[in-house]
């Protein structure tokens, strides 16, 4: 009997169907000499300090450096502590039973660093010694699974991948646990979280916010000249900015007197715009955030669902390229889209095209190739799933299409010694841009200019003086933050570290969404429309660590460089761990002596249980989670002032608050008070009372 272990039940079912294990059991499937079971993500992880007899945050016990790390089943919160997840315990027992009944194991967890770690931790925790082989696939199609099962690889081939994953896991524990406890002790109140990816990511958000906040706009001026030739009217702007108001006004007065302008130069050239590369996960997340406002976490969840439904290939990929053998499948996949209404017309055209081979480079394929569709065309899927599928399908068509060819024109006009510039373009061949031609809002528009010759004289129809201001860099969005995490290598001076991060950035495509969500859950930042805004707590943490290595991408660069070398067998995991233990002790000492400038709020007690409340950007919560008391700082489209919140917390009815908005769009005024369950209710001037829902429209 052979055991197969997948990472998730849905993946296990797909593999079991191909293997012939169709008999359903509790926690596994059986048949055709196979027993197919599954993990539930990270079923086993590194034990927390309590497992080593260390409870509470005590300065004298830091740094915490276990002689040997212990593995425990996944933990869930229970009161003020943690306990083993009953579901994890149950599935681990099933996996152990399956392994005991089988002679060998096929590892079918996700093909990558984390997938390898998930299996090895389970294998070690169960004390299993059965031989195992590796199934390494990038999609769940029948062909991919069959090919993978027919080409299993020795488990030992992935020992170095496991050593790199284990090194990452233990190093994150050593630095994260010690740094977080040290900062929490230094703060004297609350729990603070630090980590070697989380903290530099927070630093990116905070530094951009402060740069934006402290930015002082600088005025500048430019002149706009309106002219025409034939039926083409167009405008040109002064080639250089004018930094002085007085000079701008003087120039404007002189230019107003001019009636004609001379064409000083005309530059025309043909430009080829190559199609974009295929999606990797981060690029998909960035564009889904920009186009649809999807969070990185939401995009990953949708992509994972599409993958498990066999519509797209493995989403947690960091590559935008495919190998030659995958390229052989592309014509078939394009032909499949000729039956998909969204892209049918364009897909049919591609049957007669020579496919662009720019995305084909086996040397640039990492653990998995770029995102592709599988040939299974979705029918009944959700609205958001459809958007992400169309992005992947459309990008595949774009990537293998020809370039977009444009004629670009740059004209320089001379008006009595003042130069004006204007650029235009005309599309000759749409190429890849034709895929989303009329489906994409805000697409690049052509600006056609008349055909002019040097020395030609044109009539001036108007001159305007325009005052403008320099602009600050905008606050980070999830899209721009993902890009910054991906390209942070630009900030490094060390060539090896820069190259290590150039291919991966900080975090991995699979973990960046989780890192961003962690910053939200830690109350370090919040969303304001699409912008990411640090909280006072987040800024306090940033100010405390901004000059330390834990907030610098350089440290992550060193780690990633070493992980790559461990995977390749060119670095020793044991030596890396010793270095991390030294650093854990160093950062612990630094943080214990750090002062944290925490936000000051008037101390208020919970009206329900009398314990202290904690103020967050969008909510006020009781410090005792078991109490469950909570008040939102906005209600019925109205932001509540601090005075109103404090009156509520004191248990009193508020003064009349004006400007609430009902779901029907009507404005109303009301007092606020708590009901018997400590939920906010509206109290109207005529003594009518309502729940915390806006008034319904009268029938």
CA distances from 441 to 180, 413, 438, 529, 576 (A): 45, 33, 8, 20, 50
How far apart, in Å, are the Cα atoms of 365 and each of 189, 360, 370, 399, 559? 47, 9, 8, 16, 21
The helices-and-strands tally (H runs, E runs) of the chain is: 20, 28
Q: Cα–Cα distance between 669 and 330 in angstroms, integer?
A: 61
Closest CA to 409 of 465, 374, 447: 447
Given the DSSP bridges, would you call strands 132-134 and 104-108 parallel, antiparallel or unpaired?
Answer: parallel
CA atoms within 13 A on the CB side of 248: 18
Give me the helix-helix angle, 296-308 and 9-19, nearest 10°.
Answer: 20
CA-based diameter of the chain, in Å?
A: 95
Alpha carbon separation from 19 to 34, 107, 152, 309 (Å, rounded): 7, 14, 13, 18
CA distance 683 to 689: 5
How far, in Å, CA of 342 to CA of 390, rounded? 8
CA–CA dist 504, 509 (Å, integer): 8
Rounded to the nearest 10 degrees, what angle do helices 159-187 and 113-125 cross at? 90
Residues involved in catalysis:
314
Can you tell me the distance from the alpha carbon of 352 to that of 664, in angstroms, rounded to the nearest whole number? 54
Q: How far apart are CA 506 and CA 559, in angstroms?
A: 10
Is the Cβ–Cβ distance between 270 and 428 less than 8 Å?
A: yes
- Distance in angstroms (rounded) separating the CA atoms of residues 232 and 625: 68
Q: Please answer whether residues 16 and 22 qualify as being in contact, where contact means their C-beta atoms are separated by less than 8 angstroms.
A: yes
The sign of the torsion formed by the CA atoms of 192, 196, 198, 202 equals positive
CA 254 to chain centre: 53
Name, in order, each residue with C-beta under 8 angstroms of 615's C-beta and a sequence gap of 6 or more. Answer: 599, 601
CA 379/CA 398 separation, integer angstroms? 22
Residues linked to residue 413 through DSSP beta bridges, in sequence order: 263, 420
Residues with Cβ < 8 Å from 521, sequence gap 6 or more?
A: none
Q: In whole angstroms, what is the distance from residue 369 CA to residue 321 CA? A: 6
Q: Where are the alpha helices (DSSP H) in 214-261?
A: 245-256
């Amino acid at each position: 009997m052979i055991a197969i272990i997948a990472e998730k039940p849905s993946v296990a079912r797909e593999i079991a169907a191909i293997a012939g294990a169709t008999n359903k059991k509790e926690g596994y499937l059986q048949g055709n000499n196979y027993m197919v079971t599954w993990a539930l993500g990270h079923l086993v992880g590194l034990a927390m300090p309590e497992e080593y007899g260390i409870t509470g945050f005590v300065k004298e016990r830091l740094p915490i450096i276990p002689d040997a790390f212990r593995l425990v089943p996944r933990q869930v919160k229970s009161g003020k502590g943690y306990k083993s997840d009953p579901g994890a315990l149950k599935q681990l027992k099933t996996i152990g039973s399956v392994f005991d009944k089988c002679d060998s194991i096929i590892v079918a967890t996700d093909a990558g660093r984390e997938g390898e770690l998930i299996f090895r931790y389970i294998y070690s925790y169960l004390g299993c010694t059965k031989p195992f082989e590796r199934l390494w696939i990038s999609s769940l199609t029948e062909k991919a699974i069959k090919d993978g099962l027919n080409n299993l690889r020795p488990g030992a081939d992935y020992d170095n991948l496991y050593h790199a994953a284990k090194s990452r896991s233990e190093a994150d524990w050593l630095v994260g646990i010690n740094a977080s406890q040290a900062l929490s002790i230094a703060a004297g109140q609350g729990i603070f979280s630090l980590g070697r990816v989380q903290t530099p990511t927070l630093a990116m958000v905070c530094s951009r916010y402060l740069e934006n906040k402290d930015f002082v706009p600088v005025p500048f001026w430019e002149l706009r000249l309106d002219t025409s030739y034939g039926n083409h009217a167009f405008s040109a702007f002064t080639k250089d900015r004018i930094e002085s108001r007085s000079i701008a006004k003087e120039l404007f007065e002189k230019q107003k007197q001019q009636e004609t302008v001379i064409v000083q130069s005309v530059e025309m050239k043909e430009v080829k715009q190559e199609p974009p590369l295929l999606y990797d996960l981060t690029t998909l997340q960035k564009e889904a955030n920009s186009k649809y406002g999807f969070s990185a976490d939401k995009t990953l969840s949708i992509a994972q669902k599409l993958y498990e439904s066999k519509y797209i290939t493995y989403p947690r990929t960091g590559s935008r390229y495919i190998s030659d053998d995958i390229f052989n499948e592309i014509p078939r996949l394009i032909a499949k889209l000729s039956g998909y209404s969204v892209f049918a017309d364009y897909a049919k055209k591609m049957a007669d095209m020579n496919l662009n081979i720019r995305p084909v480079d086996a040397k640039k394929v990492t653990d998995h190739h770029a995102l592709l569709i599988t040939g299974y065309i979705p029918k009944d899927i959700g609205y958001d799933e459809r958007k992400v599928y169309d992005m992947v399908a459309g990008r595949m068509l774009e990537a293998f299409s020809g370039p977009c060819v444009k004629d670009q024109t740059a004209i320089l006009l001379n008006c009595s010694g003042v130069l004006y510039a204007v650029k235009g373009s005309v599309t000759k061949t749409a190429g890849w841009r034709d895929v989303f031609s009329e489906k994409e809002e805000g697409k690049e528009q052509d600006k056609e200019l008349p055909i002019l010759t040097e020395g030609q004289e044109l009539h001036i129809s108007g001159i305007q003086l325009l005052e403008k201001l320099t602009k600050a860099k905008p606050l980070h969005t999830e899209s721009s933050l993902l890009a910054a995490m991906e390209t942070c290598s630009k900030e490094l001076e060390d060539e090896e570290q820069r190259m290590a991060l150039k291919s991966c950035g900080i975090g991995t495509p699979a973990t960046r969404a989780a890192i961003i969500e962690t910053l939200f859950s830690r109350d370090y930042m919040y969303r304001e429309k699409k912008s990411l805004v640090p909280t006072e707590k987040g800024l306090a943490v940033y100010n405390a660590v901004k000059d330390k290595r834990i907030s610098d991408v350089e440290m992550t660069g060193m780690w990633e460089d070493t992980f790559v070398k461990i995977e390749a067998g060119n670095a020793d995991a044991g030596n890396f761990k010793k270095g991390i233990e030294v650093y854990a002790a160093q950062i612990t000492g630094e943080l214990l002596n750090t002062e944290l400038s925490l936000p000051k709020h008037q101390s208020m007690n919970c009206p329900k249980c009398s314990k202290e409340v904690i103020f967050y950007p969008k909510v006020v919560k009781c410090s005792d989670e078991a109490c469950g008391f909570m008040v939102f700082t906005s209600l019925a489209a109205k932001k509540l002032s601090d005075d109103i919140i404090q009156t509520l917390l004191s248990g009193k009815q508020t003064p009349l608050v004006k400007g609430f908005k009902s779901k029907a769009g009507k404005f109303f005024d009301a007092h606020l008070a708590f009901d018997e369950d400590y939920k906010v209710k509206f109290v109207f001037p005529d003594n009518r009372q309502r729940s915390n829902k806006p008034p319904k429209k009268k029938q």
